[in-house]
Amino acid sequence: MRYDTIVVGGGPAGATTALTLAKAGARVLLVERRRLPRYKACGGCLSRRVERLLPFDPSKLIEERITGLTFTWRGRDSVEATFSEPVALMIWRNTFDQALCDRAVDAGAELQDGQAIRGVRASANHVEVDLEGRTVTADFLVGADGVHSVVARDLFPDRTPPGLVALDAEVPLTSAGEAYLKGRVILDVGHTPGGYGWAFPKGGVASVGVAVDRRSAKRVQSCLTAFLSSSGFSDRGATRTTGALIPIHSHGTRSLHRGRALLVGDAARLVDPFLGEGIYYAIQSGQHAAQTIVTDGGRNGDLSSYQAAVSRTIIPELEAAGRLSRTAHRAPWLWFQVLKRRRTVIDLYRKVLMGEASYRWFEDMVWAGTPRPIVMLFSLWAGRGALSDRGQRSGSW
């Protein structure tokens, strides 16, 4: 059978793409390497704005509603903020991703899980996918196969290696730990070169992890141990510790579209460098990809408007998050002083999590009131785009 579109990968990006295409009446094959539900190394933290993109009510999947943020310096010195309504939701990825794939199947997509794509080829009028000893063809291909994407490897050879190396541990909580983390997440800087640490509660278990830049990869285990012990957790009881790469967006826009193929989510490296949030952008890029295929694919086979949509809606946000991360993660002590002295910064960030304001707005507000020469120095240090962008977008949301 020939499909309209083959979507590779059953994570949030692929499931959303397949769901949106199937809803529009397309014949979609969704291929997932692992049997579902599958484990995925992830903190499972959804900023509240994700809810707006979801095709279903996630209430039954929510393990914890987050109303408190605690920022720590090396697990000790802390700045806390508490909000009147949740700013983030905690989920387990196995059930969350399964729910999204179920919606895609309900809408008419064909799901083949436990099947790995081995290689892909694209020609002027179709794509071919090698799937466990057979070849499947389609008009279009969407690579939603995550950080080690086979679609990116075969069709987008100009890829650079992912930016952060992470180690995530599932730590059972004592009753005191559970009470402390109830509705609260901890975000730590100071132990983790070029990155951060997190503790995200899910009932009696916390996802506690660290992410460091690639140059510090060999130290990731000692960074996790240091964060765990300084924050009062113990890694002895960790039920699962998983290493993973986080494909944060790096400066500049690269090609996410080639002929009849598109990349979405982690395969496209659409992870926010400031917080490591990727689920939001996986879903958003999946929706853009499907809309492009439905509208432009059917008309003339030209999918280049996908690149334009991502460049317009997602890349400017990730660029702003990247500039902020270069301050927060490369000069963590300075960033922590900003949080300590200007607690309003945390409330401003709440607006980003809620989807009420953009990262670009947040970036401008963080620097508001800071003498211009200092802003200029930081802008230069944080990336060449910073200065030119700032002029164009002052006051933007």
Binding site for ligand FAD (CB under 6 A): 8-14, 31-34, 38, 40-45, 116-117, 144-146, 150, 166, 168, 209, 244, 246, 265-266, 271, 276-280, 282
The DSSP output letter for 267 is G
Read off the tokens for 104: 């895609």
Which C-beta is closer to ligand FAD: that of 92 or that of 336?
92
List the Cα angle 214/217/221 in 5-degree steps: 150
Q: Nearest-CA neighbor of 221 among 169, 170, 186?
A: 169
Q: Is the distance from CB of 366 to CB of 323 less than 8 angstroms?
A: no
Which C-beta is closer to ligand FAD: that of 61 or that of 150?
150
| Residues shown for the chain | 397
| Crossing angle of helices 344-354 and 332-341, rounded to 10° | 100
Q: Smallest distance, Å, CB 204 to ligand FAD?
A: 18
Minimal CB distance residue for ligand FAD: 278
Neighbours of 384 (CB within 10 A): 11
CB within 8 Å of 68: residues ≥ 6 apart? 80, 81, 82, 83, 183, 184, 185
Q: Smallest distance, Å, CB 374 to ligand FAD?
A: 32
Q: Smallest distance, Å, CB 247 to ligand FAD?
A: 7
Which C-beta is closer to ligand FAD: that of 354 or that of 375?
354
SS3 148: coil
Q: Report the distance separating Cα 327 and Cα 370, nearest Å.
A: 14
Q: Smallest distance, Å, CB 73 to ligand FAD?
A: 21
CA distance to 76, 165, 191, 196, 332, per residue, from 71 (Å): 9, 21, 13, 10, 11
Q: Smallest distance, Å, CB 386 to ligand FAD?
A: 24
Q: Smallest distance, Å, CB 382 to ligand FAD?
A: 22
Half-sphere exposure in the Cβ direction for 340 (13 Å, CA)? 10
Which C-beta is closer to ligand FAD: that of 177 or that of 265?
265
Which C-beta is closer to ligand FAD: that of 134 or that of 299?
134
Which C-beta is closer to ligand FAD: that of 33 or that of 219?
33
Q: Smallest distance, Å, CB 215 to ligand FAD?
A: 18
Q: Smallest distance, Å, CB 271 to ligand FAD?
A: 5
Which C-beta is closer to ligand FAD: that of 117 or that of 189?
117
The DSSP output letter for 145 is -
CA distance to 41, 205, 223, 235, 366, per residue, from 228 (Å): 18, 14, 9, 7, 29
Q: Is the distance from CB of 168 to CB of 200 less than 8 angstroms?
A: no
SS3 111: strand
Q: Smallest distance, Å, CB 148 to ligand FAD?
A: 6
Which C-beta is closer to ligand FAD: that of 87 or that of 386?
87
Q: Report the distance separating Cα 43 and Cα 46, nearest Å.
A: 9
Which C-beta is closer to ligand FAD: that of 46 or that of 345?
46
Distance of CA 359 to the CA centre of its chain: 14
